[in-house]
Amino acid sequence: MEHELKEIIKKCDTAIKEEDFDTLMNYYTEDAILVVKPGRIARGKNEIKKAFIEISKYFNNSIVPAQGEMIILEAGDTALVLSQTLLDADKEDSEFSMERKATYVFKKNSNAEWLCAIDNSYGTDLLSN
C-alpha cells in the first residue's frame, strides 16, 4: 500500500489539473504558505488559492503536475516530503523549471488528517549558491 501522503499529493495534483481550487484548499492548513516563485510567498488559504488561479492562467490553463520519485521523512505528526515534481503544460516559454525537486511539509491535525503547511516546489534551489 502506498503511504497516505502519496495519495493525498496525488489528489492535490488532480485538483490542480482540474482547477478545482476549493477542493485543493482542503489539503492546506489555515496558516499554510506557498512559494509561488523564488522571492514570492502566498500566506493563508485565500492567498494560496489566488496564487493557484494565477499560476493556472500563466500556464494557459493546461497545467498537469505529477510526482516522480518521492521520499517521505515522517516524525510523529510532522512529515517532510521530498519529491521529484514534473509539470506539464501547453506553454513553450515558461521562465520556471518544469522539473523540480520539491520540499513539502505536512502536519497531522487532531482528526489525524495530513495537511500541507509549507508548499515549496522549488526545494533547495531557492538557495542561490
In the complex, the residues that contact a copy of itself under the rule CB under 8 A are 29-33, 35, 41, 43, 68-69, 71, 73-76, 78-80, 82-84, 101-103, 105, 107, 117-118, 120, 123-124, 126-129
Specify whether the CB–CB gap between 73 and 79 falls below 8 A.
yes
Q: How far is the CB of 64 from a copy of itself (least distance, A)?
A: 19
Residue 107 to residue 113: CA distance in whole angstroms: 8
Beta carbon nearer to a copy of itself, 64 or 118:
118
Q: How far is the CB of 47 from a copy of itself (least distance, A)?
A: 12
Beta carbon nearer to a copy of itself, 92 or 129:
129
Q: Which residue has the cell 512529515?
A: 79
Specify whether the CB–CB gap between 21 and 29 falls below 8 A.
no
Q: How far is the CB of 53 from a copy of itself (least distance, A)?
A: 20
Helix spans in the chain (H):
4-17, 21-25, 44-58
